[in-house]
Structure 1
Amino acid sequence: MKKKILIVVVATLLLLIGSQIHFDIPVADIERTWALPESKFLDLNGMRVHYTDEGKGENVVLIHGTAASLHTWREWVKTLKKDFRVVTLDLPAFGLTGPSPDNDYTIPNYVKFLEQFFAAMKMRQLNLVGNSLGGQIAWRYAVAHPDNVNKLVLIDSAGLPRIGSIPLPIRLARMPVIGSLAKYLSPRFLVKKSLKQVYYDDAKVTDALVDRYHSLALRAGNRNAFVERSRQMTPDDGSGLDKISVPTLIMWGQHDTWIPVEQAANFRKKLFLGQVVIYDNAGHVPHEEIPEQSVADALKFLK
């Protein structure tokens, strides 16, 4: 009897695991689904970098965070492109750009990637906007290239000693066995759970939003790259922030559970020309959750 129960339990677990296995979506298929009418592609170091380039005026570059894509900025672009040249891009490991051939997802290598991207685009004198991981890359670029950055906007930015626990998806990816399984198992419910963590208003986590994040995660190579990126993450002490002398707007969701709002004040203490806006109706991605309100503040600052 016990043997039969054990067989049933094992069989049930195998069925549950099997039900969560998702095959990679081929690049051509994922591009047909998620490329925008404004999408462009640039061959750079063995990658087909996905980006958009809209509007005219001063350069504004929008850099997304972990597990996101340039789609996260679409509502901001609609407003900003009336006054600026606005460039968005999918970072290596994410979106339609996909994995980097060198498998290096450290912050210094992301800064190097931006250097090469801007050179290929012939872009100088930049206003950089970054959320989470994108914020850390943006301010690290500003430290390395102070003469090429006019203004910074940091939205719930990473890059200071961590407060609180590491987000669940990253913790799972770092685990030896589970991280390896994560390259094949991609439960939609886990994507939905993560979005509910980064949003303050659960009602805004729609099926369409979950589908986009889940589908782009399945782009061939992205899951393996996410695991590698998670394992290559190292603590950042924020050194160099005090060398940034350009005006900086720090934007934060009061209800951010991934990078607590206390970090906004910590960034302000280190930045010479930093100003802070806190949103009591947003979480980790105010540019996506409350786009009209947040872009109005960014526009006022940039103009």
Structure 2
Amino acid sequence: MAQKTYNEGEFTYVEEGEGQVLLILHGLFGALSNFNDVVNGFKDNYRVIIPVMPIYDMPMRQASLEGLLKFIESFVDHKELDDMILLGNSLGGHIGLMYTLAHPDKVSALVLTGSSGLFENTMGGSFPKRGSYDYIKERVEYTFYDPKTATKELVDECFEITSSIPKCMNIVQIAKSAQRNNMAEEITSITAPTCLIWGLNDTITPPHVGHEFNRLIPNSELHFIDKCCHAPMMERPEPFNKILNKFLTKINQTVPS
């Protein structure tokens, strides 16, 4: 079932539940529906919030990681959020890393799944083939271990996005911005407890990327999910939520009273 969205000025977002904030950042082709199982699994104990990042609609001169970071900073300020758990998939993980480094006082924990920031294989680095439904279908299926996970609704959504020249130009510009922004040196200073949840069969950010994040982020733990590719929260929601719940329970038990 689709989550209810709220609109306040320039912001569109999902918000469910009460408690500590679990702020979710979606990827380059991400949709709010990608996180339905996370919302449903954690809304009883957390205030789950997912802002829609203006990837396709922001002015082209602002279409970059820095532009998206400013947007998230504005959203957090608008909602007066604090003591957040940040969860980011793919590009959203990259933005999460940047936000954590810029505002360590606001982030109590970080969760990355298939995050960019070190290395990725993506169609975003070159202009997506407009008008080729079969090509878009193949690329969407490539992000899943089981191609059937790429529903017609999901493929149609991506096809609609890539049928627009301005949206494609933003996608390419943001993807190139991500590829230029290697965070290997900066992330060694992250002190927040970090949970890395990786698809063992990830073709976009392969397993070695998860291992490298684990090596570079001091207070991190790495978990792999078998028969799973780039979006574990969609493809294997039950093991994903189990790992996330165990991590959140553990860090909450270690917080000083």
Question: Normalising to structure 1: TM-score of the pair?
Answer: 0.76
1:267 aligned counterpart, secondary structure? helix
2:124 corresponds to which residue?
Answer: 170
1:290 to 224, 236, 249: 236
Amino acid at match of 1:53: E
User: Counterparts of 2:3 and 2:188 in 1: how far apart (Å)?
Assistant: 40
1:134 corresponds to which residue?
Answer: 92
Measured against aligned partners, the alpha-carbon deviations of 1:32-79 in whole angstroms (never above 9, x if no partner) come to xxxx551112323xxxx3211110000001111111122211111111
Q: Which runs of 5+ in 1 are unaligned?
A: 1-35, 174-178
1:108 to 55, 61, 66: 66
User: Counterparts of 1:110 and 1:240 in 2: how far apart (Å)?
Assistant: 18
Note if 1:153 corresponds to 2:153.
Answer: no
2:22 aligned counterpart, secondary structure? strand
Q: Displacement of 1:123 after TM fit?
A: 0.9
1:281 to 217, 227, 235: 227
2:252 corresponds to which residue?
Answer: none
Q: Displacement of 1:260 after TM fit?
A: 0.9
Map 1:42-53 → 2, pairs under 5 A: 42-44=8-10, 49-53=11-15
Note if 1:123 corresponds to 2:81.
Answer: yes
Measured against aligned partners, the alpha-carbon deviations of 1:215-266 in whole angstroms (never above 9, x if no partner) come to 4555795333213323444141422211111111001111111111101111
1:32 corresponds to which residue?
Answer: none
Measured against aligned partners, the alpha-carbon deviations of 1:147-186 in whole angstroms (never above 9, x if no partner) come to 11011100011111x36xx42x22431xxxxx6xx5xx24
User: Counterparts of 2:3 and 2:29 in 1: how far apart (Å)?
Assistant: 22
2:124 aligned counterpart, secondary structure? helix
Note if 1:40 corresponds to 2:2.
Answer: no
Q: Displacement of 1:292 after TM fit?
A: 1.7
Kindly indicate whether the alpha-carbon contact (under 8 Å) linking 1:60 and 1:129 is maintained by their aligned counterparts in 2. yes
2:151 corresponds to which residue?
Answer: 206
1:120 aligned counterpart, secondary structure? helix
Note if 1:87 corresponds to 2:53.
Answer: no
Amino acid at match of 1:170: G
Amino acid at match of 1:268: N
Q: Displacement of 1:146 after TM fit?
A: 0.7
1:103 aligned counterpart, secondary structure? helix
User: Counterparts of 1:277 and 1:129 in 2: how far apart (Å)?
Assistant: 15
1:282 aligned counterpart, secondary structure? coil
Kindly indicate whether the alpha-carbon contact (under 8 Å) linking 1:63 and 1:70 is maintained by their aligned counterparts in 2. no
Kindly indicate whether the alpha-carbon contact (under 8 Å) linking 1:251 and 1:277 is maintained by their aligned counterparts in 2. yes
Question: Normalising to structure 2: TM-score of the pair?
Answer: 0.88
Deviates more, 1:218-227 or 1:252-261: 218-227
Amino acid at match of 1:80: F
User: Counterparts of 2:94 and 2:245 in 1: how far apart (Å)?
Assistant: 21
Taking only the aligned residue pairs, the percentage that are identical comes to: 26
Measured against aligned partners, the alpha-carbon deviations of 1:262-303 in whole angstroms (never above 9, x if no partner) come to 011111111111001001110011111111220121122123
Deviates more, 1:249-258 or 1:232-241: 232-241
Q: Displacement of 1:189 after TM fit?
A: 1.6
User: Counterparts of 2:189 and 2:74 in 1: how far apart (Å)?
Assistant: 23
